[in-house]
Amino acid sequence: MEASMRDRILGADIPEKTRQQLIGYLSGRDVTEEQFGRILSQVINEYGYTRIEPAEAVGIIAAQSIGEPGTQMTMRTFHYAGVAEINVTLGLPRLIEIMDARKTPSTPTMTIYLEEEWSTNRDRAREVSWQIEAAPLHEFGDIITDIVDMQVVVQLNRDVFDRRKISIQEVMERAPKKIRDRHHYRDFESDSDEKAATLTFFPKERESYQNLFQLAEYVKNVIVQGIDDIERVVVRKEEGEYILYTEGSNLRDVFEVKGVDTSRTRTNNIAEISDVLGIEAGRNAIIDEALSTLREQGISVDVRHIMLVADMMCMDGEVKQIGRHGIAGEKESVLSRAAFEVTVNHLLDAAVANEVDILQGVTENVIVGQPIQLGTGDVKLIAKPINQE
């Protein structure tokens, strides 16, 4: 194949993937100019045939293509998906979750990739995981509720601090601050003794045992290291690098942690992705999540259908659910909305607001008994030029 032929392929009006396939197929072969011309025009022709026809009802086809295999999915699967005993919702519940565009999935989880320096060494990977996994104060020492002196004493264990690579001062400062900020509990004072490595809390009201025990509870559970939303981190080696899997998700905060690869780390929380990375990343997340959920169940749905659904959900700049609070509920036509769910409310509101239905969609025209504007029904007039050769 000659260089000029390559340029003609690259200039042809066919998808990038087809171009590359054609180049791959023809390179290293002897093709004459005439043969090449025929091949190229045939490929372009063939590509034209594979394109969807104008006015084809792609939405219905997508709905049926996802819906039918959906009936074969397990209704309730909350099983442990292979990866490191982290519980992930799969099957139909997960698919519904994706299409409903829930703010938080029922089992949020992250896959955290590390930068090269950290990803090859188990201990360094573990260091990053300490920064991420939420650790309550009781993991750093013994907590004693002293009923005689009405105080809660935390005897910090220096070995734990060495292992977790965090300084005692940091924890001593953070613990009282976080109890005030996160739990909105302020009726206490605290005192720290760095030499003895003790942290002491007193309730303001010295008479009440109830206050003391409540304070002890807060002290025990205050998160002093890691990110609050991430309950558990599992380090696993995959294809020569260490990857962190988490239970709980907080993309924004994890991106701030040193050693985290901010170009590959991902979460299964679609709303979070579209917040932090933008709507286009959200669209990709919907496609990836839906496809992997279906694939895990052994169902193969063509990606085009899922892409259509994802495009519709992300069309207006934010992730919208498919349903009465999203795409279906924001349709222009009153009759179309009324035909979906909560009929009476829509008709009543439309009457009050003096809405007009211009009968352009499918549903409305079916209701009033007119031909729908799809397929052959969309063609109004075909003009045949008189001066045709």
Binding site for other proteins (CB under 8 A): 15-20, 255-258, 260, 262-264, 266, 273, 275-281, 284-285, 287-288, 303-304, 307, 311, 314-318
Amino acid symbol at 329: G
Q: How far is the CB of 265 from other proteins (least distance, A)?
A: 8
Query: Quick one: 164 or 305, whose CB is closer to other proteins?
Result: 305
Query: Quick one: 150 or 271, whose CB is closer to other proteins?
Result: 271
Sign of CA dihedral 277, 281, 282, 288: negative
Which residues pair with residue 136 across a beta bridge? 223
Q: Tokens for 36?
A: 């090449």
Q: How far is the CB of 31 from other proteins (least distance, A)?
A: 23
Query: Quick one: 24 or 369, whose CB is closer to other proteins?
Result: 24
**Contact predicate 346/352, CB 8 Å:** no
Q: How far is the CB of 314 from other proteins (least distance, A)?
A: 8
Q: How far is the CB of 44 from other proteins (least distance, A)?
A: 15
Q: How far is the CB of 262 from other proteins (least distance, A)?
A: 4
Cβ atoms within 10 Å, residue 134: 19
Q: How far is the CB of 15 from other proteins (least distance, A)?
A: 4
Query: Quick one: 224 or 273, whose CB is closer to other proteins?
Result: 273
Q: How far is the CB of 354 from other proteins (least distance, A)?
A: 23
Query: Quick one: 175 or 285, whose CB is closer to other proteins?
Result: 285
Query: Quick one: 103 or 264, whose CB is closer to other proteins?
Result: 264
Residues in CB range of 21: below 8 A, 6 or more apart = none
Query: Quick one: 275 or 355, whose CB is closer to other proteins?
Result: 275
Query: Quick one: 103 or 158, whose CB is closer to other proteins?
Result: 103
Q: How far is the CB of 179 from other proteins (least distance, A)?
A: 23
